[in-house]
Amino acid sequence: MLLRRLPLLTDPMIAVLVLATMLALLLPATGEGRDWARHISNGGIFVLFLVNGMRIRRSEIARGIANWRFFGPLMLFVFGGMALAGVGFASLASGLLPPLVALGFIYLGCLPSTIQSATSYTSLANGNVALAVVGAALINIAGVFVSAPLFALLGGGGAGEIGSEAVIRIGLILVLPFVIGQAVQDRVIERVAAQRARIVWLDRAVIGLAVYVAFSGAVEQGLAQLFTPGDWAVLVALVLVLLALALGAAWAIGGALGLPRADRITFLFAGSQKSVAIGAPLAAILFPASAAGFVIAPLLLYHLAQLVLAAPLATRLARG
């Protein structure tokens, strides 16, 4: 019974991430095979964002924008406070971990929060579910436009520099399909809603493929030689501390704003969790294959940790 309650053993998204990482370690895509995998991954990302544009109602976006007392501070926390925390942790990691992994903390901090898990755990904790749905959707839409330039601003040169080719790729693979989805939404939204279960697995498949391609490049660049067991221990420790600070700060800010308890719970999960659904595909577009696997390492560990810790935290909050 206890094993069934552990998210690590029951959450399909965790299984997809672990399997994609292990497959990259054991059977990485290299050479022409990696090029094909990357093209397929980009095609999947296009379809995923097209579907997202179809299913996120424009009315939800409008309601989110109107509720500025909640969403204004939430946006500042997700893209401001967390981004600055990422810069701070990157500085801590710079002398302990490979430079691209340290840079990954800035990338992590610039990403939006999750949609599915933030909403699920808000519901489990008796939070404001409607607010969570709108908030997570609004933040993810903003993330498509905000995360990449914010990372370029804070990450500096090297892998953090976004050239014209990357901007074009973001526009063609992320923004364009989302805009198309919004444009045709009225004609297809009911059919898309009826395929919800399949869309969830589309999300997982696209994310898993993006992670596989990224880590294949890292393995080819000598991940095993560059990353020692001690490095993994340092990375895990830094990620857990960052997650603990994010949870504590989100809860404290919700209290300082005087939010009702249900809204405060929503702020906690929507503010502290980070989205691998945006992070992995965006990394596949922004970074060369030789760098992407290193950069997303903090994100993958953070995502796994937030899922493992969120369930018991939500259960405790539900008890009051």
Domains and CATH numbers, the chain: 16-25+32-314 (1.20.1530.20)
Q: Is the pLDDT of residue 165 over 70?
A: no
Higher pLDDT, 166 or 306: 306
* pLDDT, mean of residues 166-174: 71
pLDDT at 160: 47
Higher pLDDT, 311 or 266: 266
pLDDT at 6: 46
pLDDT at 296: 87
pLDDT at 164: 59
- pTM of this prediction exceeds 0.85: no
pLDDT in tens, 56-85: 777 766 766 677 888 889 999 999 999 999
pLDDT in tens, 28-59: 887 778 778 878 888 887 887 788 778 777 77
Q: Which of 36-40, 71-75, 111-115, 219-223 is the least confident region?
A: 219-223
pLDDT at 134: 75
pLDDT at 82: 96
pLDDT at 132: 78
Give the number of other CB atoms < 10 A from CB of residue 57.
17
